């Protein structure tokens, strides 16, 4: 049976390497793992950290929140409008081991199979994360009040949830226009009166947690956003993520490095840091190759 890194096996391997299982190690382990996730998120540019989500620019609202664990925006596009439908309380139903999620809706009478929906406002449900639920999907109509979507997650339980603020947005078409990144000062001077509205053209960082849209949207617009995120930190209840699946050696070395720094093991810090940089650089180099196909470069051969 092949080895699978989980939170539990990661803790075991770190303790084994340190040859220590005292209260200091036990008390600080979760902190080291969190710091390691933050370190990898800063140091890596792998496609594993790319996330694509959908949402809605709301008429009259010029400041919108950034996604949780956002690090850097890749691109920001918006569409021409559509139908925005609030879903009932806890409208999401997951099925254990399945990636297909059911959504309750007041009526599916105006929808068609394959139509695009943009889900927003959903909370973690049944082991499928909010970022995997708040995304853009084609729908499959099941009944007059249920449609399903294929998510990128896999449910760990059969449960109904999602919260009280889930919204389904059905764009009128798939024609998207890019919002252009500008400085906060430029966006405010371009559209100084945020009470007035027009077709959006720019977005700017409004602190670390929000964006400013300029001009203020004059109607509801669907948007599609891609960004780099900091990986979801694993713990005793959230055993795996894409680092444990695809980059286990990088994660292990990063946790060891944080442990050596905390324990002031000066003899090993340089060695572990060198090993961490080596395995991470290999991943970053591979990611650079993925940006070119063989029509553009033969380096991938």
pLDDT of the residue at 199? 92
Task: Assess whether the previous peptide bond of 215 is cis (omega < 30° from 0).
Answer: yes
Which backbone phi and psi does 119 adopt, to 5 degrees? -95, 135
Two structure tokens written together for 272: 């572990």
Q: pLDDT tens for residues 76-133?
A: 999 877 788 999 999 999 999 999 999 999 999 889 999 989 898 999 999 999 989 9
Evaluate if residue 38 carries a pLDDT over 80: yes
Distance of alpha carbon 147 from the chain centroid: 23
Evaluate if residue 301 carries a pLDDT over 60: no
pLDDT of the residue at 46? 81
Q: pLDDT tens for residues 212-264?
A: 999 999 988 888 899 998 888 999 999 999 899 999 999 999 999 999 999 99
Q: H helices within the chain, ranges in order? A: 7-18, 23-43, 130-133, 184-190, 242-246, 248-263, 266-290
pTM for the structure as a whole: 0.67
Q: pLDDT tens for residues 131-187?
A: 899 988 999 999 999 999 999 999 999 999 999 999 998 887 657 889 999 999 999
The band of 294, judged by pLDDT with boundaries at 50, 70 and 90, is low
Distance of alpha carbon 281 from the chain centroid: 23
- Residue 40 near residue 243, CB atoms below 8 Å: yes
- What CATH architecture does domain 52-229 belong to? Beta Barrel (2.40)
- Domain ranges in the chain are 7-46+247-290, 52-229
pLDDT of the residue at 209? 94
The band of 68, judged by pLDDT with boundaries at 50, 70 and 90, is confident
CA distance 267 to 248: 24
């Amino acid at each position: 049976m092949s080895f699978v890194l989980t939170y539990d096996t990661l803790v075991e391997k770190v303790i084994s390497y340190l040859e220590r299982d005292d209260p200091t190690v036990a008390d600080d382990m979760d902190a080291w793992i969190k710091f390691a996730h933050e370190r990898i998120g800063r140091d890596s540019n792998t496609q594993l950290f790319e996330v694509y989500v959908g949402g809605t620019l709301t008429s009259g609202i010029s400041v919108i929140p950034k996604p949780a664990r956002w690090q850097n925006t890749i691109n920001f596009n918006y569409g021409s409008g559509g139908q925005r439908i609030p879903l009932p309380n806890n409208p999401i139903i997951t099925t254990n081991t399945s990636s297909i999620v059911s959504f309750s809706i007041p009526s599916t009478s105006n929808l068609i199979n394959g139509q695009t929906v943009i889900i927003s406002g959903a909370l973690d449900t049944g082991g499928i994360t909010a970022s995997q639920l708040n995304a853009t999907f084609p729908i499959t109509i099941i009944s007059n009040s249920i449609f399903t979507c294929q998510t990128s997650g896999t449910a760990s339980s059969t449960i109904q949830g999602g919260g009280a603020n889930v919204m389904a947005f059905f764009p009128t078409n798939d024609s998207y226009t890019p919002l252009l990144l500008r400085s906060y000062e430029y966006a405010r001077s371009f559209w100084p009166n945020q009470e007035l509205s027009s077709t959006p053209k720019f977005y700017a960082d409004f602190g670390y947690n929000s964006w400013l849209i300029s001009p203020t949207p004059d109607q509801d617009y669907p948007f599609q956003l891609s960004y780099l995120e900091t990986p979801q930190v694993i713990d005793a209840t959230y055993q795996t993520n894409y680092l444990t699946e695809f980059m286990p050696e990088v994660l292990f070395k990063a946790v060891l490095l944080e442990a050596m720094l905390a324990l002031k093991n000066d003899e090993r810090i340089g060695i572990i840091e060198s090993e961490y940089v080596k395995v991470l650089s290999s991943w970053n180099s591979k990611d650079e190759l993925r940006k070119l196909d063989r029509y553009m470069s033969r380096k991938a051969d």
